[in-house]
Amino acid sequence: MTRPRLSALALMAMCLGMASLARTTQAAPPKPVATDSQGIQKMNFGKLADGTPIELYTLTNGKITAKITTYGGIVTELHTPDRDGKTADIVLGFDSLEGYLAGHPYFGAITGRFANRIAKGKFSIDGKEYSLAVNNGPNSLHGGLKGFDKQVWKAEETTVDGSPALKLSRISPDGEEGYPGNLSVTVTYSITPENALKIDYTATTDKPTVLNLTNHSYFNLSGPASGTILDHELTLAADQYTLVDENFIPTGKLGSVTGTPVDFTKAKAIGAHIGQIAGEPGGYDHNFVVRGAEAGSKKPIFTAKVKDPKSGRTMTVLTTEPGVQFYTGNFLDGTVKGKGGVVYKKNQAFCLETQHYPDSPNHADFPTTRLNPGQTYTQTTVYQFGVE
């Protein structure tokens, strides 16, 4: 879905959620690891102000490599080869833990309990209203002031179908950020033989609650220092999208993409019609309805494909989710300095956040995000990489 917009209000909200983390003890930046074999490696990534150690795990299949930290479940690096076999990092982020603790627009993080927006920070279950922190204009965004992106996750090295994997888990206590129920969550990252980063999510609760999880990686298939992603070519398996008001809250109606600037049913450059998107600061920030999505499906289906003409890299997205938020880094305004001192500017990355629709708890006609005791939330999203 979206991000905290790097507006003064959003940054203030993030800072409030991280006030206790003001001072950190930093480890030396992690050194690159060899990627000529399959496996998983653990490193120290620093400490929080209270002394809590943060770990960084490197997963590789010998061709692609992902680095993931226990702080926020953040994908800090993702290395894939180009058409000439040259490997480069293709996600935005920071070189050290300090950057993530200082406040950022959810680079690479697990977002929850509810990814995207909930109107006015309120929803009801069985007639009881729940109030959440309002941290994005009049709305609640990505779980509130201290969502899953700012929590420390318990890590376990494991395998998925024989591939190296990292299982992250935590208990979100009843009332955390205003959400009901003790929620037990696991997020498992694995690197597959097909050169994909696969993310499996599961969760259970002891009270009726709402849940919507996603990963918020910012991609630039030429690398974060290469400029904008406006020449990247995007295809979306979506004939409809959710119409929204001026605060990015769905009206409850779906619009057809046909004949509009949001029509990516056939591959086209992201920048081809981006200037036709009304509003400030301009650019794509839309939830698309995944064609063929079925409630309760456990088989990921084709959702999107992005190709970078310069490097030849491709990324294909498959998911079990009914929606995908396409965002073009509209609120990156040059105030955030990332890896290697690179300043992140508008349209320097794109996000494809697989999820349920924004504000679903307040729209009975949308696919439900309600989770009841005795049920298990499951979701799988696959980011598969190749070259053309």
- pLDDT at site 36: 52
Choosing from 216, 232, 286, 356, the catalytic residue is 216
Choosing from 232, 353, 356, 363, the catalytic residue is 353
| Residue 216 appears among annotated catalytic residues | yes
- pLDDT at site 10: 42
Q: How far apart are CA 197 and CA 219, in angstroms?
A: 13
Low-confidence ranges of the chain (pLDDT < 50): 1-35
Do the domain assignments include residue 1?
no
Q: What is the pLDDT of residues 318-374, one digit of tens each?
A: 999 999 999 999 999 999 999 999 999 999 999 999 999 999 999 999 999 999 999
Q: How far apart are CA 189 and CA 159, in angstroms?
A: 9
Q: What is the CATH number of the domain that holds 24?
A: 2.70.98.10
Q: How far apart are CA 215 and CA 194, in angstroms?
A: 20
| Residue 77 appears among annotated catalytic residues | no
Q: Quick check: helix, strand or coil at residue 60?
A: strand
Do the domain assignments include residue 360?
yes
Do the domain assignments include residue 3?
no
Quick check: 219 and 349 in contact, CB under 8 A?
Answer: yes
- pLDDT at site 349: 98
Do the domain assignments include residue 247?
yes
CA proximity to 149, closest of 161, 158, 157, 141? 141
Range of the domain at 365: 8-387
- pLDDT at site 38: 85
Q: How many domains does the chain have?
A: 1
Do the domain assignments include residue 229?
yes
Give the DSSP letter string of 29-51: PPPP---SSEEEEEEEEEE-TT-
Do the domain assignments include residue 145?
yes
Do the domain assignments include residue 106?
yes
Beta bridge partners of 38: 61
Q: How far apart are CA 65 and CA 61, in angstroms?
A: 7
Q: How far apart are CA 177 and CA 135, in angstroms?
A: 11
**Residue length, the chain?**
388
What is the separation, in whole angstroms, between the first and last Cα of the chain?
A: 28
Q: How far apart are CA 148 and CA 212, in angstroms?
A: 11
- pLDDT at site 281: 83
Cβ of 22: how many Cβ atoms within 10 Å? 11
- pLDDT at site 32: 40
Q: What is the pLDDT of residues 105-154, one digit of tens each?
A: 999 999 999 999 999 999 999 999 999 999 999 999 999 999 999 999 99
Do the domain assignments include residue 203?
yes
